Structure 1
Amino acid sequence: MNVARLLRLLVLTGGLLGCQESGQSVFQGYVEANLVFVGPDDPGRLVALSVAEGDRVEQGQILFSVDDTLELAARDQAKAALAEARARLERLQAAQKRPQEIEVLRATEARARVALELSQTELERQQKLYAQGNTSKANLETAQATRDQNRAALEEVQRQIVVGELASHELDIAAARQAVDVAEGQLVAAEQRLSRRTLAAPAAGTVEQVYFRPGEVVPAGRPAVALLPPANLKVRFFVPQALLPRIAPGGVVSVTCDGCAGGLTARISFIAREAEYTPPVIYSLEERAKLVFMIEARPDEPTKFRVGQPVSVMLVEGRGQEASDGLSR
């Protein structure tokens, strides 16, 4: 039997004896809490600690920071990759040729148009001379071939201009857009990992324990700071099974402790469904009286209690049963 179980058994035994001796519904218990453990997602060296044990912190207040050199580099790399992907997309969406190259093609187009006009004029002149019998058929055919060649050259350069002003293939542009989306997602992930190297309090509470100091390496999955939000305190006590009908969730109990203020109350939040200690399989009436069930109650003023503090719990007659009737309705 470990020490914690032995202490629980002593508290339980003392509470039952006190109840039997006094004839009142008074039970001994203790204050327990669910700590909130705060630690980095990935291992790292603690570089800054902003709180100390016992400090009161508000939600969102910075607790500590872990070395973020690698995360900063990953963030910068993701930014560069995104800029490259966006530049590639813009290039594919723009004309295939640069403006200077388009200007060269337009100058070639003008020269081809002039050559076509000259060859057309020469062809018309050769046609008149041939009709008058003043030139040979060979000269006429040469002029016509030159005109056709210049016309083809003009059409070729015009098509080059059209193609040069076109954007890339739609499939290439779609692939570039997807690459931009991937790069944006990688940047968001890198920024998230970077932001998680500085940890803030998830809730207001008290710093109960600091496990690592600046310069120490925090392993993966290990907390660096333990917080105790006031709402996470609870009073735990045990009652015989015969008294269970008098207890219901939401019922009020009176809580007293050494050095505590008077009039402290708590509301029952949990009733165990199984006995804390199991007697023999066949129950006699005497053994059935030994069955006890764990009860938890949330203090109305949790800041008045401390974790591990022994307390005395007394059922407030009439209020627990009223809560039960209200739940049943």
Structure 2
Amino acid sequence: MKWRTVCVCGAAFVFTACSRHEPPRWQGYAEGEYVYLASSQSGTLTELAVERGQTVAASAPAFALESGEEEAARNEAQHRLTAAQQQLADLQTGKRPPEVRVTEAQLAQAEANAHKAALQLTRDEAQLRAGGISQAQLDDSRAQADSTAAQVRELRNQVRVANLPGRTAQIAAQAADVDAARASLAQAQWRLDQKRVNVPRAGLVYDTLFRVGEWVQAGNPVVQMLPPQNVKVRFFVPETAVGSLAPGRKVTVRCDGCAEDVPATITWISNAAEYTPPVIYSNENRTKLVFMIEARPSAQDAVKLHPGQPVEVTLQ
């Protein structure tokens, strides 16, 4: 009797252990969303500041193309802007003080001549009444007085004009030239900046696609980057389990050779089945339906995974 009792108890223990529920496990793989660094300009690759397999920080130099032509264009645009700004300043301030002083000196000389001519005219008028000079000589004196007076008025107007800024339309036109020159400089600077490309986000240099000295066509990637935020896990779950999952659900990722499990968060669930039988659904073929799900680990844990690496995913 004792022996049978022990056997029954042992059998019950084995049955209980075998019926213990284990969390489902789904197969998948790690994947990376690569960032391809390229320039919008063509040129010879003169500098490659990163190497394949290197981890670089954000804003670190990645590569540079030959930029002699762009530097010359930028310098030319800078000189044109400076010239346009100086011309605008000249229009806004009128003539230079030395030029104004020259005109003022001419005015003073003309005023002296006009005063002298007016005195001579007064004397000649008295002489004509006394019969000392002819009418022709008086006419000459009057003409000389009128001429010097007109010259005084002209020079006075020139002094006033010299102290005025340029006309409104001229200033507006020159200001437009300054804006156009500034825009040309910005364009030239942008083209020059495109010849040097920096790393937009910290990450792994997955590959370099050109060597120094090679010609790089505009838009062709030179460096292939993999930021840790761009590492994700894709796995597949059966149709019977997809309804219980939702974005934000926590999962655990296991991989061969990993020292520890990697936690991740579901970010996307496919709305379409990866496999659809060519016949009407039945209880037999519904089990063949699987849905792709994406989960992302944190940036700190993403470095533990490698694109293409098989993984096993379980719910936390």
TM-score, structure 2 length as denominator? 0.84
Q: Distance in 1 between matches of 2:203 and 2:303?
A: 10
SS at match of 2:212: coil
> Could you tell me how far 1:119 is from its partner in structure 2?
2.3
> Could you tell me how far 1:235 is from its partner in structure 2?
0.9
Query: Does the 8 Å contact 2:94/2:163 carry over to 1?
Result: yes
| Partner AA of 1:61 in structure 2 | A
Counterpart for residue 200 of structure 1: 198
Query: Does the 8 Å contact 2:61/2:198 carry over to 1?
Result: yes
| Partner AA of 1:45 in structure 2 | T
The structure 2 residue matched to 1:118, chosen from 110, 116, 119, is 116
Counterpart for residue 313 of structure 2: 313
Q: Distance in 1 between matches of 2:297 and 2:133?
A: 121
Q: Distance in 1 between matches of 2:67 and 2:276?
A: 52
| Partner AA of 1:190 in structure 2 | A
Q: Distance in 2 between matches of 1:174 and 1:306?
A: 62
Q: Distance in 2 between matches of 1:251 and 1:119?
A: 107
> Could you tell me how far 1:58 is from its partner in structure 2?
0.5
Counterpart for residue 322 of structure 1: none
> Could you tell me how far 1:305 is from its partner in structure 2?
1.2
Q: Distance in 1 between matches of 2:68 and 2:250?
A: 53
Q: Distance in 2 between matches of 1:186 and 1:142?
A: 63
Q: Distance in 2 between matches of 1:264 and 1:104?
A: 87
> Could you tell me how far 1:75 is from its partner in structure 2?
0.9
> Could you tell me how far 1:187 is from its partner in structure 2?
1.1
> Could you tell me how far 1:72 is from its partner in structure 2?
1.0
> Could you tell me how far 1:102 is from its partner in structure 2?
4.0
Q: Which of structures 1 and 2 has the bigger CA Rg?
A: 2
Counterpart for residue 304 of structure 1: 304
Q: Distance in 1 between matches of 2:27 and 2:312?
A: 5
Equivalent residue runs for 1:204-283 within 5 Å:
204-280=202-278, 282-283=280-281
1:32 has 2:31 as partner:
yes
Q: Distance in 1 between matches of 2:123 and 2:240?
A: 128
Counterpart for residue 107 of structure 1: 105
Counterpart for residue 7 of structure 1: none
| Partner AA of 2:159 in structure 1 | I
> Could you tell me how far 1:284 is from its partner in structure 2?
2.2
> Could you tell me how far 1:25 is from its partner in structure 2?
1.3
- 1:108-138 residue CA offsets vs partner (Å, 9 max, x unmatched): 3222212221222233334445566766665
Q: Distance in 1 between matches of 2:41 and 2:137?
A: 87
Alignment CA distance shift 1:75-1:242 (3 Å): same
> Could you tell me how far 1:271 is from its partner in structure 2?
0.5
Equivalent residue runs for 1:5-20 within 5 Å:
none
Counterpart for residue 6 of structure 1: none
Equivalent residue runs for 1:88-103 within 5 Å:
88-95=87-94, 101-103=99-101
> Could you tell me how far 1:166 is from its partner in structure 2?
3.3
Q: Distance in 1 between matches of 2:251 and 2:277?
A: 28
Counterpart for residue 327 of structure 1: none
Equivalent residue runs for 1:74-153 within 5 Å:
74-95=73-94, 101-129=99-127, 140-153=138-151
Alignment CA distance shift 1:114-1:269 (3 Å): same
Query: Does the 8 Å contact 2:63/2:197 carry over to 1?
Result: yes
| Partner AA of 1:54 in structure 2 | G
Alignment CA distance shift 1:142-1:254 (3 Å): closer
Counterpart for residue 62 of structure 2: 63
Counterpart for residue 15 of structure 2: none
CA-based RMSD of the aligned residues comes to 2.4
Equivalent residue runs for 1:42-57 within 5 Å:
42-57=41-56
| Partner AA of 1:285 in structure 2 | N
> Could you tell me how far 1:281 is from its partner in structure 2?
6.0
Q: Distance in 1 between matches of 2:51 and 2:69?
A: 27
TM-score, structure 1 length as denominator? 0.81
Query: Does the 8 Å contact 2:255/2:261 carry over to 1?
Result: no
What fraction of aligned residue pairs are identical, expressed as a percent? 40
> Could you tell me how far 1:298 is from its partner in structure 2?
0.8
Q: Distance in 1 between matches of 2:127 and 2:41?
A: 93
SS at match of 2:180: helix
Q: Distance in 1 between matches of 2:285 and 2:28?
A: 22
Query: Does the 8 Å contact 2:26/2:235 carry over to 1?
Result: yes
Structure 2: state its 5+ residue gaps.
1-20
Structure 1: state its 5+ residue gaps.
1-21, 317-329
Q: Distance in 2 between matches of 1:146 and 1:263?
A: 111
Q: Paired residues, what number?
A: 294
Alignment CA distance shift 1:219-1:147 (3 Å): closer
